Amino acid sequence: MLARQTLRLSTRARLFSSTAARPAAAEVKRLGVIGAGQMGLGIALVAAQRANVPVTLVDASQASLDKGIAFAEKLLAKDVAKQRITQEQADAARALFTPTTTLDSLADVDFVIEAVPEIPSLKFDIFSKLAEICPKHAILATNTSSISITRIAASTTGGRPTDTSNSSRVVSTHFMNPVPIQKGVEIIAGLQTSAATLETAVAFCQRLGKVASVSADSPGFLANRILMPYINEAVICLETGVGDRDSIDAIMKNGTNVPMGPLQLADFIGLDTCLSIMKVLHEETGDSKYRPSVLLRNMVDAGWLGKKSGKGFYDY
């Protein structure tokens, strides 16, 4: 009975359930971002533009760094052309970027956000290194959309799980894509995450102009726990002939006022990403309602991954 009552507590309620006052958020003077892809670059750009925070942008590939910086400059130039910002503001934001290929460059950050591909072993390795490199006050955040925060936090303990000096500062800041446009961000606390870490993560995301939603460390968290079964069911409707592609997307766009239908949205997310998240939901919950659509599996096997491959439910 006690276990059930505990599960009903929200993450924030669990962390702030004691009589102690809610901890104050720590100040973030310098941000580190790992991964110069679309998500990492978007996070870095928003931090520089909206919060005036210096950003150390890390990627193992110099080519990826160059491509990411060029894309940031393109977005800034577009904002200048549309008179959203001045050229001086664009130059000031660009000057806040420090691109580098070494994790050791994160030795002076107050907050670091990892935004690399959804490969558990890769994330575990990165966080193990961050625990040694970053200052002991620094928050270690991940942008994961599906991997357990508790597992990621455990990778920082050096085999000493009862020592929570590092794991207590691990949290997820799961930004929505594209980061400069979407306001939503999920804040997910692992079992080890401290109340101070959670409060700092929420406050920093709000400083970036985001609307934070706090989630428990449960498969799929909030966004994908709701979104991916919706997309998967749309694929099943197509697969079983309940409706054709255009009818499925049209009824959701015109019936629920969403900007794009579920099949078009899946193409933009990437069908391989959708499949990966559905597999996580299915495997970790054991619930058959999360079984990935056969058609979704087949399309990924065919290499029809959506917009990024040129073909998905639509042709690009």
Q: Are 217 and 149 in contact (CB under 8 A)?
A: yes
The token pair that represents 83 in the structure block: 């008179």
* Helix or strand (DSSP H, E) at 98: strand 97-100
Q: Has 233 been labeled as part of a binding site?
A: no
Q: Has 40 been labeled as part of a binding site?
A: yes
Work out the angle at residue 306's Cα, subtended by the Cα atoms of residues 301 and 308, and round it to the nearest 5 degrees: 105
3-state DSSP: the chain helix, strand, coil percent, rounded to 5?
50, 15, 35
The token pair that represents 190 in the structure block: 């692992």
Q: Has 289 been labeled as part of a binding site?
A: no
18 CB-near residues (< 8 Å, 6+ apart)? none
Q: Tell me the HSE value of 36 on the side-chain side, using a 13 A CA sphere.
A: 25
Q: Has 36 been labeled as part of a binding site?
A: yes
Task: Please give the C-alpha separations between residue 298 and each of 26, 281, 292, 309, 312, in angstroms, as whole numbers.
Answer: 47, 19, 10, 15, 11
Q: Has 59 been labeled as part of a binding site?
A: yes
Q: Has 312 been labeled as part of a binding site?
A: no
Q: Are 141 and 208 in contact (CB under 8 A)?
A: no
Taking the C-alpha atoms of residue 149 and residue 308, their distance in angstroms, rounded to an integer, is 28
Fill in the DSSP letter of residue 306.
B
Q: Has 37 been labeled as part of a binding site?
A: yes
Q: Which residues are known catalytic residues?
A: 145, 174, 186, 224
Q: Has 35 been labeled as part of a binding site?
A: yes
Binding residues: 35-40, 59, 118, 123, 145, 177, 308
Binding residues for NAD(+): 35-40, 59, 118, 123, 145, 177, 308
